[in-house]
Amino acid sequence: MQTIKGPALFLAQFASDEAPFNEWGAITRWAAECGFEGVQVPSWDTRLFDLSTAAQSRDYCDTLKGVAAENGIEITELSAHMQGQLVAVHPAYDTVFEGFADASVRGNPTARQEWATEQVKMALDASRNLGIGALGAFSGALAWPYVYPWPQRPQGLIETAFDELAARWRPLLDHAEERGVDICYEIHPGEDLHDGVSFEMFLDRVDQHARARMLYDPSHYVLQCLDYIAHLDVYADRIGMFHVKDAEFTPTAKQGIYGGYQSWVDRAGRFRSPGDGQVDFGAIFSKLTAMDFDGWAVVEWECALKHPEDGAREGAAFVRDQIIRVTERAFDDFAAGGADEAANRKMLGLGG
């Protein structure tokens, strides 16, 4: 066993045009003041990070790490969620996802997909230059508009969608292998990889690729009524990243998991700051520690009620309290009598 690293903070929800959230040195200093030891970096946010330069220059990456280190912060992972989303977009979502893409490829789905693929490759290259072994991403989705089978889905529709999804990601997974970096897909509604079964459908089509792993975020499992504790037992070998995000699901006579098109604060299922929802983080940290998870516990702040800066400070303390410093000895060592093979045989009645 080993002690989980942390606490760390995903910066995507905090980066803005206002100080101290608009510049790398300032935001890492602020994160350290909140109690964090690491940050997960949104690779698309040019206020904090130059992806193209990081993919090509180890000197730039060393400088970035050096500035963070001066503030007591490590870079835990990069995130390519926005670019990964654009690797596979159903036409129904073309307009709503346009904002994730560079202006030069908007209005051209083919060019947008090619741009997104190159972006993920650069994020893998940058991860290698930073000495990081995991990249967070969304899978994108071709089949999601058909998640609820009404009207009846045509035979073969889902299979065709997953065949295409795998074909788009396989070259990226091979690139990840060359760079020594895992791609950790966040299991997330809205993505074709949104639960264990859909993840396995994808794995089957990429030949169980060793670089295809999961970003485990229990909040998305709570809102799907999925057993997020047993999930860790089933996929222990595939968990590569961990988001600490809370959620609560309180169905009523009027709404359930679909939320009735309501805003987040009025939904039956909503995200909360760590410790304010229903997720059993004590059980999760115990499971991850026992299964030798070697990554970071990264707070992803998303809450329908609480101010983000309060959520960050409280989240750092919450994670620090949850992390289990692993023991170096058994609790009953004090009662050990000492023995050798001869004594063991004697205890078993196997002769002198």
| 116-130 tens-digit pLDDT | 999 999 999 999 999
pLDDT in tens, 261-305: 999 999 999 999 999 999 999 999 999 999 999 999 999 999 999
Q: What one-character DSSP code corresponds to residue 147?
A: S
Residue 352 lies inside a defined structural domain of this protein: no
pLDDT in tens, 11-34: 999 999 999 999 999 999 999 999
Residue 62 lies inside a defined structural domain of this protein: yes
Please give the average per-residue pLDDT across 128-154, as a whole number. Answer: 97
Report pTM. 0.94
Measure the CA–CA gap between 239 and 229, rounded to whole angstroms.
13
Measure the CA–CA gap between 300 and 41, rounded to whole angstroms.
11
Q: Is the per-residue pLDDT at 248 higher than 60? A: yes
H-helix or E-strand spanning residue 271: strand 269-272
Residue 83 lies inside a defined structural domain of this protein: yes
Please give the average per-residue pLDDT across 40-53, as a whole number. Answer: 98
pLDDT at 347: 84
pLDDT at 223: 97
Mean residue pLDDT of the chain comes to: 96
Residue 238 lies inside a defined structural domain of this protein: yes
pLDDT at 334: 62
H-helix or E-strand spanning residue 229: helix 228-234
CATH number at residue 48: 3.20.20.150
Q: Is the per-residue pLDDT at 352 higher than 60? A: no
pLDDT band at residue 333 under the 50/70/90 scheme: low
**Residues spanned by the domain of 145:** 5-347
Q: What one-character DSSP code corresponds to residue 60?
A: H
Residue 206 lies inside a defined structural domain of this protein: yes
Measure the CA–CA gap between 194 and 144, rounded to whole angstroms.
9
How many domains, the chain?
1
Chain centroid to CA 57: how far? 25
Please give the average per-residue pLDDT across 195-202, as a whole number. Answer: 98
pLDDT band at residue 44 under the 50/70/90 scheme: very high
Share of the chain above pLDDT 90, in %: 92
Residue 295 lies inside a defined structural domain of this protein: yes
CB atoms within 10 A of CB 123: 30
* Numbers of helices and strands, H then E, in the chain: 13, 10
pLDDT band at residue 178 under the 50/70/90 scheme: very high
CA-based nearest residue to 298, from 52, 17, 41? 41
Q: What is the dihedral of CA 122, 127, 133, 137, to 10 degrees?
A: -50
Measure the CA–CA gap between 242 and 163, rounded to whole angstroms.
27
